[in-house]
Amino acid sequence: MKVEKILFPKVKALYEAVEELIFENIDVKEIKVSDITSRAGIGKGTAYEYFKNKEEIISSALLYQIDLICRQMIKNLEELNDFFQAMEFILCSIDREIKKRDCLIQFVHLLSDNGLIGKTLQKKIKETNQEVCMPRDVLSHMLQVGVANGDISRGISASYASMAIAAKVIAYIIYISDENWESECSREEMHRMICDGLRRELGHA
């Protein structure tokens, strides 16, 4: 994982504009180049000095945000020394940081998306393989911690375990996003239930 690159100021402005637009609930696929550039306060043509096309702008921006988010997340997790504390922290982050969550949701969607942006993002991920910090790196980190201090049973396959954790996070996001889902319990209770569930599932019998 490379060190954070220093971005050209215009590029940074573009990335932040994309983040803001996503945060404002504009669908990624309906974002227009002029939306981005006017928000970024630069000329439309300038965007094309740095990027080949719209898809590159958006997918680069998303990749950049995800990198930032995941890096920060790992940094925060490193201060905790317990898998379940880490899980709790992630769930709380999801509750807290709506902006970042929106980016994350778009990112996850685009991973299995056949549209132009999705394809571009997927290609970029393959190309920049290890240089960008991604959700799977956060998962790896958690897994490592979990196994190291015995929260996760060694009998459980690593790929299964990380999938199980990822799925819980996704399901939690769906849960809190879906206003119709009868919320018969508070978010805190749900956090606890999720951690307890994971403990039963991945922990020692």
Partner DNA sequence: AATGAATGAGGATTCATTCAT
Partner DNA sequence: TATGAATGAATCCTCATTCAT
Residues in touch with its own copies (CB under 8 A):
25-27, 29-30, 105, 108-109, 111-116, 118, 126, 156-160, 163-164, 166-168, 170-175, 177-178, 180-185, 189-190, 193-194, 197-198, 200-202, 205
Helix H or strand E encompassing 168? helix 158-177
CB 1 within 8 A of CB 131: yes
Residues near DNA (CB under 7 A), total = 18
Residue 99 near DNA by CB under 7 A: no
Residue 33 near DNA by CB under 7 A: yes
Closest CA to 192 of 84, 77, 47: 84
**Distance in Å, CB of 99 to DNA, minimum:** 22
CB 56 within 8 A of CB 36: no
Q: How far from 85 is each of 33, 91, 141, 146, 194, CA to CA, in Å?
A: 41, 10, 13, 10, 12
**Distance in Å, CB of 106 to DNA, minimum:** 16
**Distance in Å, CB of 133 to DNA, minimum:** 27
**Distance in Å, CB of 75 to its own copies, minimum:** 24
Residue 44 partner contact from DNA, its own copies, none using kind-dependent CB cut-offs of 5 to 8 Å: DNA
Q: Is 148 helix (H, G, I), strand (E, B) or coil?
A: helix
DSSP codes joined into one string, 2-43: PPPPPPPHHHHHHHHHHHHHHHTT--GGG--HHHHHHHHTS-
Residue 108 near DNA by CB under 7 A: no
Residue 44 near DNA by CB under 7 A: yes
Residue 176 partner contact from its own copies, DNA, none using kind-dependent CB cut-offs of 5 to 8 Å: none
CB 161 within 8 A of CB 87: no
Residue 179 partner contact from its own copies, DNA, none using kind-dependent CB cut-offs of 5 to 8 Å: none
* Binder among 2, 4, 5, 9 for DNA (CB under 7 A): 9
Closest CA to 72 of 49, 48, 96, 52: 96
Binding site for DNA (CB under 7 A): 8-10, 30-34, 42-46, 48-50, 53-54
